[in-house]
Structure 1
């Protein structure tokens, strides 16, 4: 990700610090904005910002039940839209995700309106397609949020996810 201009974005300083402690610190920061912060939120944002390795994220995702995976994909779809993902983000997200351009999620993200395609990707049912969808949606979120951060948050912002500790 881009260098920290807003204060606090980068690699987590001490991965040995329990996630629960970090979440409680971020919850205090998010409290002023009325945000509800969960472990899921932190994990997904760390993945999108490159603060957590993707293999660890895939392992976490694979450990979830089918309905939880579906919920995570829908959540990611929503956050991609919130981050103002655009059609042009598709090819870069495919590249970052490491997916082959011929895989179903990669084909979908490069065809048609982004909001419709994100929904189709989040709705993929086979387990191997869900795993690919997870990797791709994290990459779409990363591309869109990186652009949003550069355009709107370079002088600082109130987004807790832009203050994940280095």
Structure 2
């Protein structure tokens, strides 16, 4: 699955943001300004970024809304995406900056960061929906993990997230189970 640079960048950022939510045994990992700085370092946004408590809280509040995109199918995602675009007053415009070729921004650079994140995520999911690739929007298959990811593999066979060591851990568990059955 190949998406243009800004789509893949937005999908990576929204995945990283959703995965900061507390999970089964995992704590919330976006609670401090240092956490927020680390997120923004890994996922830079153009435009105004204040990096203060108020902005952090606004970004924290949008996470459950973004997480909903992993709980629905392609048709169920459409009203969620449309609501994000509508709420963000999205007005797509072609822009070029910072060494990136022409791409779309759908909000102004001075819109609140949480709004820009929602709208950029929605625009990226528009591409996923239009490409009919929504089956690659997944939740980790490990029994003890609920992290989310987008499967970019060629054959669409990825089953585990990259946030923990889920794939390796589940393979070791399966191996140990097979060995236990063989010796029983």
TM-score (norm 2): 0.29
Considering fraction of residues, name the structure with more helix. 1
TM-score (norm 1): 0.31
Where relative contact order (Cα < 8 A, 6+ residues apart) is larger, the structure is: 1
Larger Cα-atom Rg: 2
Considering fraction of residues, name the structure with more strand. 2
